[in-house]
Chain A
Amino acid sequence: DAGVTQSPTHLIKTRGQQVTLRCSPKSGHDTVSWYQQALGQGPQFIFQYYEEEERQRGNFPDRFSGHQFPNYSSELNVNALLLGDSALYLCASSLQGILGYTFGSGTRLTVV
C-alpha cells in the first residue's frame, strides 16, 4: 500500500518564478494538508483540502494557492517566489484527522 507520494523531491527556482508541487495521498485518504518547514523549525500549516475545496488556511499570503482533484491528489502553487520561500514542503493525508496524518517525504524547494 503506497503511502503519500510527493513530486518532485528537489527543486531550484529563481526569485519571481512560479512553482507547482504535487501530492498523491495514501490510498483511502480523502483529505490533504500542506505544510512549510523551514530549516530547523517545525512544520507550519499552509492549508487543507477536502472534497476539492480549501477547508482551512494558515497564515500564508495569497501567493500560496492549491487545488485538489477528484482522485484526492493535490497541488500546491506558489507565485512570485521569494528567497524566504526556500523550505521543505510537506504534504500530509488523512481520512479522519484524529487518527493522525500520514506524511510524504517532502519537496525541498530552494529559491535563488
Chain B
Amino acid sequence: AQSVTQLDSQVPVFEEAPVELRCNYSSSVSVYLFWYVQYPNQGLQLLLKYLSGSTLVKGINGFEAEFNKSQTSFHLRKPSVHISDTAEYFCAVYNNNDMRFGAGTRLTVKP
C-alpha cells in the first residue's frame, strides 16, 4: 500500500516570501499525486495534481509542484505567499481507487 510523509508539520513564513512544503511518497507501483488545502472548519480543496507528462504542475492560487520520481517526492512551492495562504496543506497519493493523505503541514504566513 502507498503512503505519504510530509516532512514539516509547521512552516512559518513572512508575507511575500517564497515557501516550499515537502512531501515524499512510497509506493511499489505508479501513482498519481495531489495537493489539497484545508481552511479552518472546512473540507479539503484540490490545489493541483500530477497524473503524467510534465513533472512541473501548476495549480490554483499561484501554487506549483514538481514530481521527482527518483527521489519519490512531490514538493509544493509558491514564489510569494499572502496572509490568505495560511491554512493546512495535505499531500495525497492515489492508486487503484485508494487515496491516502499525509499528516499535513500547517502554513502560517506572518505580516
Contacts and interface: CB of A to CB of B under 8 A. Distances in A.
Interface string B44-71: 1110010100000000000000000000
A55 B98 CA distance: 10
Interface stretch (A11-19, A71-79, A98-106): A98-106
Given A100-B34, A100-B46, A104-B43, A42 B94 contact: no
Given A41-B104, A42-B104, A97 B44 contact: no
Interface size class of A (residues with CB under 8 A): 20 to 34
B97 to A, nearest CB: 6
B7 interface: no
A98 B104 contact: no
B100 A45 contact: yes
A10 to B, nearest CB: 10
Contact of A98 (B6, B90, B94): B94
B101 to A, nearest CB: 4
B30 to A, nearest CB: 11
A103 B97 contact: no
13 contacts: A4-B43, A33-B99, A42-B102, A43-B44, A45-B98, A45-B99, A48-B98, A56-B98, A98-B49, A100-B34, A101-B44, A103-B43, A105-B41
Given A56-B98, A103-B36, 6 more contacts: A42-B101, A42-B102, A45-B100, A90-B43, A90-B44, A92-B99
Interface of B: 6, 32, 34, 36, 41-46, 49, 51, 90, 94, 97-104
Interface of A: 4, 31, 33, 35, 40-45, 48, 50, 55-56, 90, 92, 97-106
